[in-house]
């Protein structure tokens, strides 16, 4: 029985010592990631992947006079990753823009006329 209490005490002491090392959400020193910084990280990693694939392909070609299968596979993965990052982002931006336009048109058509009707009624009185 005493042995279990000692283990629990040691465990709680260990967890208490580990608590200051965890990241605190209220810590003012850490900046929160914004949507803009997230996009820049995505674009940077996609660009670095493509550049690294091109550099690796040139190095393989100039050293062996052949681009090996592994290098081609890496280049294909880099292009796929970059295409996914750029393509998905562009697709969602255009769809979001289309949706915003449709919503604005709907609001203007349905609610904009009511405002002008009520405004003209108030002026006529």
The string of pLDDT tens digits covering residues 54-110 is 999 999 999 988 888 999 999 999 999 998 888 887 787 788 888 888 888 888 888
Q: Is residue 18 part of a domain?
A: no
| Domain assignment of residue 80, given as a range | 38-124
Q: Is residue 25 part of a domain?
A: no
Q: Is residue 57 part of a domain?
A: yes
**Per the structure, how many domains does the chain have?**
1
Q: Is residue 58 part of a domain?
A: yes
The DSSP line for 63-108 is HHSS--HHHHHHHHHHHHHHHHHHHHHHHHHHHHHHHHHHHHHHHI
Does residue 8 carry a pLDDT above 90?
no
Q: Is residue 19 part of a domain?
A: no
Q: Is residue 51 part of a domain?
A: yes
């Amino acid at each position: 029985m005493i042995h279990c209490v000692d283990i629990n005490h040691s465990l709680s002491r260990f967890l208490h010592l580990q608590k200051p090392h965890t990241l605190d959400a209220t810590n003012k020193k850490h900046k929160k990631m914004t949507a803009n910084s997230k996009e820049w990280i995505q674009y940077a990693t996609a660009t670095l992947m493509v550049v690294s694939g091109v550099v690796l392909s040139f190095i393989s070609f100039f050293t062996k006079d052949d681009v090996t299968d592994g290098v081609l596979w890496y280049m294909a993965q880099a292009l796929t990753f970059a295409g996914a990052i750029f393509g998905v982002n562009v697709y969602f931006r255009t769809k979001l823009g289309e949706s915003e336009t449709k919503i604005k048109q709907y609001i203007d058509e349905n609610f904009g006329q009511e405002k002008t009707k009520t405004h003209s009624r108030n002026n006529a009185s």
